[in-house]
Structure 1
């Protein structure tokens, strides 16, 4: 991306932010809308605006190289994403569902549900530290110079070993071929060794081979006759001996006619092919012919190489900025620090003199606990009049001091209680409104901290950058004046603490001299220093693996196949369509009456992944994907791990049963590796097995419930908000588990049944991918209508097995019959595979309704509504 484009993009985005702030300020003053649909519309409009804003800001952040400006854009991205999540939570509470539908507003802005996809993998990825990245991959992109030299030496030694091994095998192979060639001819049976001969290639007619070559004897008989080749050759020789002039003319005429016929057919074929290509090109150019192939949106505008170059450039600029700070600090300490100390001490002496000339006494020296003489600079000490009054007042007794302290405490408590009561009243007021279906939009926006952060950041940017012409800084140089100003402030505070210690000695000498002049007893003032915060003494956790390196722990889990390498997948490979009719089929309470489609789950998963990015955003600690077999649960887990570039730690019962003797040590190693190598995913396949009500006899050998007692205390509890670790589980039989399964997983998602749109896209994409030319105008709609009851995994397996290599070769000669796909399900599968029954899906929905909080709220609201109708 060019500098000019990025600069213009930032200007337009900053204008949009200012317009959004104005709009929010107007909405803060409105009264709570009585109709729920109005509140939903306001929050939906804001949500769409914030989605566009986050996408633009992340793109700008990725292409901004100036260090000081990048910090500003980062604050905006983080705050905008946090507000986006808050708005989504509000919409979920209104919708009483994990899935939000706002199609009418999207149509007004000429957008599609695909435009609401927030996650962009390169822009949101959390970058690991350099030493951790080197353990995960031996890629030189992440190494420093010394590590590169070591890896180069190792790689060269490995290459030389590999070359030597290849040469040895090649010499052995050539020797075997040479021996077999000699042994083939009986003349050379006695020859065991040949002398080396310098060989140069020359061609002479009828020259025999210098080394006999073993020829392959083919068993296939291409000439369907009982006559041998020798007999046929003799027969031809006999015929040629009796050829007459007429027969030669006839044979020549036959040959010419055959050649012209072949040429005419070939020219017709080539002409038709060229005409077809030109016709297709013309139709595509005019927009008449549409290629029936699923066009996936390109998520990554920048290539991987360009992204890597940008990161290296940012890294270099960051290092130069740090070096600039160090150099400027060193220069200021060398040049300015003596004069600064002198100025500070002169200022404090002037302060002494000012009070002594006015009151013939000295103001109490500010304590370090109150930042010392910084109070003098910011004019927060007593004025001369106040100080004179304090001298005339009688000193308070101990009882009076205690009364004053208790009075101050009571006032503080009253203020806290007042604030608490106000919050309680506000919470009760909002709850009453929500029970009536009224949402206070103004209160929600006015109390939002992310909105405050955006407003403050933009105000500060307008003040700081008003005299800076960004367009002239195409080399992305830092603004040195700001660095000098900031370092001067830091050095000033550091030197003032040092000067305060010396000036306090001078202050006590002055007080002592004053006391001697006035014949009064001298008593040094007590110094109140900053107390170190005394927290609760935490027990030192003994690390049983403290003597081991992270690399050894990581490779131990990897060698045991607990850490698995997964194939790279992205969200485009989860082929599914959105529900486009849910927004149009709302009931009188403005709630959706149609369930979610399979594509809607992608948005919920992406929203949960935002907390795993480099920005500080709330995220669920644990996610459970529920659905029937072959519905795409494992694929989604694979996609999440790939998009996050996460370490995939498999904690399924098959892996855990090998560590039954020392589970505490195993869990400790797993959590240590996950925390150090984050982002990390702790994966449990078929998680209901860990919480079995009754363990099946065929699974008792691996003790599937072995991990259950450790999940809450040892896995979920140690995960902090800032940790990029998530427990991810799948289940196809959740009703076999105890209720503890619902409590363990914070977010539970049910993968819906395949609908027509998802099934159509699946057939279209997979079949055109296998045979794009032959199946371009196939009846995908009919296939999707008939096969939509099958799960996506079953459909993909059917296509892969039916469209084999041999079948694809016969497509032009033998058209593909839709019954062939049914044959896979009914005849090739043992037992035959039939569509998923509605009873089973109802069972999933019933279990999901008792585990998801929004489903519980919706059922409670529907029950209340039915009760009111019965009363009427």
Structure 2
């Protein structure tokens, strides 16, 4: 596509953003109070922002103008953050991580595929050189440590020449023997037919009868072939089967990919020219007008200090770097306004001191008064209000810049530095040590799009009739994008969006928990640290050793962010009772230290702790839920997801989908089987030899039945155990109370009411 196309795409996205911002400002003045209306409002904004996000991402990826890309990037990150804020609002409103927008999609006339959140390509494109360099370093360390040989799956076996010749001769003789046997069999059958004809006597066929018989057979065959062709055309017309033009190789797609890569090269060239131009303009301006500008700035600073002295009687302190330095002096504020700000700060500090003293004087006696005040809240306080957004100002600023208006941004405050246990060691040495110890591993190159799953089309309908639907794999994929990939990929989004430090993926074995961990690292270019109980056994023994190990991991993770810290089989860290065969492993080493690590993690640290568990009900639920902020329960795939999975994986393995292969039948009989089991069966059946035989022998569903019969599916009892466990989590409890009409506040009121009733009964009895 041309530059004009992407400029038009950007213009449409900005117009849509402008209308959504106006709608948000109108709703903020008079927010609705009905919970259903509130969710519809939030969901509508969410879906619209997703569409804007998709258009902006495409425009930013293919635009070649550097100044335009800077502005698009600002709005793109802001829209990304706003999507995360709206998601957080919907979770707090419905007490559920999964939401369904099928009715909204129908109103907006959108397809379910348009609800998928794209992963910005700049996450990897802007640091491709760094990732290549890191891969080289990792390969070098593994090869020197002797760990690279473990990655080789099929080692080459050296065979002597004589043995190889004998093996080829045996195979050739066997082939010739098989051909001779087939030839002799044909001769024997021909002789047998001739003998039978002589015994029964040969009959001379009438030529007319023979011609009629041949015509009947040919007409039947021709009509059968014609009927099949008409049926296939009808299925293509109805959209039930894909067009053969789509299935065949399309050269236009290849040309489009070439154009995209060419645009990337033009982007890099223009970016280099833009940076060089900035440096040249700055240096020339400094050389020609630097002395005059410096003198005028010094005069303004002197004038500002003299005016402040004349008004207050003393010279003000020079602004520090954290406050902005001399830039504050040249702001649009007058000296009177600056003095008012200084006086206001002093008054605020005095008021804070007075409040602290007052709070220290107050004791336990005022707790009852506070409880009474809480019960006497006004209706205005009880009304629902949307929490303030940190990204709407950025979007408005970008929108105003697009229109030609400019605003000034704000600076953030710097956090305090933590104590460094390894101040004299370089990052390279720490990185090498963690790789050699097996705590920093190479993530598998798995993209999130390979996690195949279909959209849930009946979610809203089921919730309207008070049935909680099981989430689909498409919903799981979307949550991984929202909670894992988008915050790790963008620094500005991670600092301002609702902070997600920890994530727990739980579900039966084979639903793709580990695959999703590796997909997060692949899509964001993150380092992968493995702190699974089996990995850290016997490493860094003792309390000091454990502290040093965690310090090394978190230090390298922060310095080389983004990073993912993976704790596999995390239920072992929170065992209720450690099994006898695992006591030597000491699986609960991290239990006390994980909460401390999470508290020390800040918004600027793009580090995500991800735990995976296939048996979470074996863990103590309170400390587990205290550590993991977000819990995603991954179910077994439903029929729609299984249908798409069977079809795509068979095609990826080299299989051909024909009418003889009933995908619908395979999807129905694999109810209860996980994605991993289905993929395993397909790989076992579609060997290289079987793929080559498809011309003579097409694939059938029966070939996969034997492999499925040897596997154990996920039974309903196991699925129910996961559901009951999730209902005991904090969010699960809130969701259950919301469905039953009980609120957390009502629970407390109920307890107080019962206590008051008992007191009244006691008084009456007296």
Question: Quick one: distance in 2 between partners of 1:350 and 1:824?
Answer: 86
Pair 216,574 (structure 1): closer, same or farther in 2 beyond 3 Å: closer
Counterpart of 1:575 in structure 2 is 452
**Does the residue aligned with 1:593 lie in a helix, a strand or coil?**
coil
Pair 124,54 (structure 1): closer, same or farther in 2 beyond 3 Å: farther
TM-score (norm 1): 0.63
Q: How far apart are residue 586 of structure 1 and its match?
A: 2.7
Q: How far apart are residue 613 of structure 1 and its match?
A: 1.2
Question: Quick one: distance in 1 between partners of 2:394 and 2:677?
Answer: 49
Which residue, 741, 746, 762 being the options, matches 2:645?
Answer: 762
Which residue, 599, 607, 618 being the options, matches 1:736?
Answer: 618
Pair 307,716 (structure 1): closer, same or farther in 2 beyond 3 Å: farther
Counterpart of 1:543 in structure 2 is 422
Counterpart of 1:716 in structure 2 is 598
Q: How far apart are residue 789 of structure 1 and its match?
A: 1.9
Matched, 1:606 2:477: no
Question: Quick one: distance in 1 between partners of 2:552 and 2:304?
Answer: 61
Q: How far apart are residue 66 of structure 1 and its match?
A: 3.4
Question: Quick one: distance in 1 between partners of 2:629 and 2:306?
Answer: 66
Alignment of 1:637-648 (within 5 A): 637-648=517-528
Q: How far apart are residue 62 of structure 1 and its match?
A: 2.3
Question: Quick one: distance in 1 between partners of 2:637 and 2:305?
Answer: 83
Counterpart of 1:635 in structure 2 is 515
* Matched-pair contact (CA < 8 Å) for 2:49–2:79: yes
Q: How far apart are residue 636 of structure 1 and its match?
A: 2.0
Which residue, 391, 396, 408 being the options, matches 1:455?
Answer: 396
Question: Quick one: distance in 1 between partners of 2:289 and 2:616?
Answer: 70
**Does the residue aligned with 1:640 lie in a helix, a strand or coil?**
helix
Q: How far apart are residue 333 of structure 1 and its match?
A: 3.3
Which residue, 604, 621, 625 being the options, matches 2:501?
Answer: 621
Question: Quick one: distance in 1 between partners of 2:266 and 2:42?
Answer: 39
Matched, 1:593 2:487: no
Pair 17,414 (structure 1): closer, same or farther in 2 beyond 3 Å: farther
* Matched-pair contact (CA < 8 Å) for 1:585–1:592: yes
Q: How far apart are residue 101 of structure 1 and its match?
A: 0.9
* Matched-pair contact (CA < 8 Å) for 1:126–1:644: no
Alignment of 1:345-744 (within 5 A): 367=316, 369=318, 380=334, 439-440=384-385, 444=387, 447-464=388-405, 541-543=420-422, 546-548=424-426, 550=428, 552-587=429-464, 593-608=468-483, 609-617=485-493, 618=497, 619-661=499-541, 662-713=545-596, 715-738=597-620, 739-744=622-627
Counterpart of 2:288 in structure 1 is 335
Alpha-carbon RMSD across the aligned residues, in angstroms, is: 5.3
Q: How far apart are residue 865 of structure 1 and its match?
A: 4.6
Matched, 1:221 2:177: yes
* Matched-pair contact (CA < 8 Å) for 2:504–2:631: yes
Question: Quick one: distance in 2 between partners of 1:373 and 1:615?
Answer: 25
Alignment of 1:251-330 (within 5 A): 290-291=241-242, 313-330=266-283
* Matched-pair contact (CA < 8 Å) for 1:352–1:363: no
Counterpart of 1:799 in structure 2 is 682
The higher relative CO (CA closer than 8 Å, separation ≥ 6) is in: 1
* Matched-pair contact (CA < 8 Å) for 2:571–2:618: yes
Question: Quick one: distance in 1 between partners of 2:331 and 2:562?
Answer: 47
* Matched-pair contact (CA < 8 Å) for 1:47–1:87: yes
Question: Quick one: distance in 2 between partners of 1:377 and 1:767?
Answer: 65
Counterpart of 2:722 in structure 1 is 844
Counterpart of 1:115 in structure 2 is 114
* Matched-pair contact (CA < 8 Å) for 2:304–2:335: no
Question: Quick one: distance in 2 between partners of 1:51 and 1:216?
Answer: 61
* Matched-pair contact (CA < 8 Å) for 2:500–2:629: yes
Deviations 1:736-762 (A, max 9, x none): 222322222111111113322222222
Counterpart of 2:206 in structure 1 is none
Q: How far apart are residue 731 of structure 1 and its match?
A: 0.8
Counterpart of 2:153 in structure 1 is none
Pair 578,329 (structure 1): closer, same or farther in 2 beyond 3 Å: closer
Deviations 1:504-537 (A, max 9, x none): xxxxxxxxxxxxxxxxxxxxxxxxxxxxx9998x
* Matched-pair contact (CA < 8 Å) for 1:292–1:764: no
Q: How far apart are residue 627 of structure 1 and its match?
A: 0.8
* Matched-pair contact (CA < 8 Å) for 2:119–2:486: no
Q: How far apart are residue 843 of structure 1 and its match?
A: 1.2
Question: Quick one: distance in 2 between partners of 1:123 and 1:86?
Answer: 22
Structure 1 residue runs of 5 or longer lacking an equivalent are 140-169, 185-213, 229-266, 356-360, 384-402, 418-423, 466-485, 487-532
**Does the residue aligned with 1:8 lie in a helix, a strand or coil?**
helix
Matched, 1:40 2:33: no
Q: How far apart are residue 91 of structure 1 and its match?
A: 1.9
Structure 2 residue runs of 5 or longer lacking an equivalent are 139-157, 185-217, 320-324, 338-342, 358-369, 754-766
Counterpart of 1:52 in structure 2 is 51
Pair 763,342 (structure 1): closer, same or farther in 2 beyond 3 Å: closer
**Does the residue aligned with 2:173 lie in a helix, a strand or coil?**
coil
**Does the residue aligned with 1:683 lie in a helix, a strand or coil?**
strand
Counterpart of 2:212 in structure 1 is none
**Does the residue aligned with 2:725 lie in a helix, a strand or coil?**
helix
Q: How far apart are residue 600 of structure 1 and its match?
A: 1.6
Q: How far apart are residue 112 of structure 1 and its match?
A: 2.8
Deviations 1:355-408 (A, max 9, x none): 9xxxxx99968545378999799784579xxxxxxxxxxxxxxxxxxx999988
Deviations 1:215-234 (A, max 9, x none): 99735535758xx9xxxxxx
**Does the residue aligned with 1:585 lie in a helix, a strand or coil?**
helix
Counterpart of 1:77 in structure 2 is 76
Question: Quick one: distance in 2 between partners of 1:748 and 1:658?
Answer: 29
Pair 553,776 (structure 1): closer, same or farther in 2 beyond 3 Å: farther
Question: Quick one: distance in 1 between partners of 2:554 and 2:305?
Answer: 59
**Does the residue aligned with 1:100 lie in a helix, a strand or coil?**
coil
Q: How far apart are residue 583 of structure 1 and its match?
A: 0.6
**Does the residue aligned with 1:97 lie in a helix, a strand or coil?**
coil
**Does the residue aligned with 2:492 lie in a helix, a strand or coil?**
coil
Question: Quick one: distance in 2 between partners of 1:135 and 1:404?
Answer: 51
**Does the residue aligned with 2:535 lie in a helix, a strand or coil?**
helix
**Does the residue aligned with 1:583 lie in a helix, a strand or coil?**
helix
* Matched-pair contact (CA < 8 Å) for 1:576–1:762: yes
* Higher Rg of the two aligned structures: 1
Alignment of 1:125-140 (within 5 A): 125=124, 127-128=126-127, 133-137=132-136
Q: How far apart are residue 331 of structure 1 and its match?
A: 2.9
Question: Quick one: distance in 1 between partners of 2:414 and 2:93?
Answer: 45
TM-score (norm 2): 0.70
Question: Quick one: distance in 2 between partners of 1:216 and 1:777?
Answer: 34
Deviations 1:140-195 (A, max 9, x none): xxxxxxxxxxxxxxxxxxxxxxxxxxxxxx9x99xx79xx99xx9xxxxxxxxxxx
Question: Quick one: distance in 2 between partners of 1:406 and 1:572?
Answer: 56
Counterpart of 1:835 in structure 2 is 713
Question: Quick one: distance in 1 between partners of 2:237 and 2:330?
Answer: 79
Q: How far apart are residue 340 of structure 1 and its match?
A: 4.2
* Matched-pair contact (CA < 8 Å) for 1:660–1:706: no
Deviations 1:458-498 (A, max 9, x none): 22442359xxxxxxxxxxxxxxxxxxxx9xxxxxxxxxxxx
Counterpart of 2:6 in structure 1 is 6
Pair 669,595 (structure 1): closer, same or farther in 2 beyond 3 Å: same
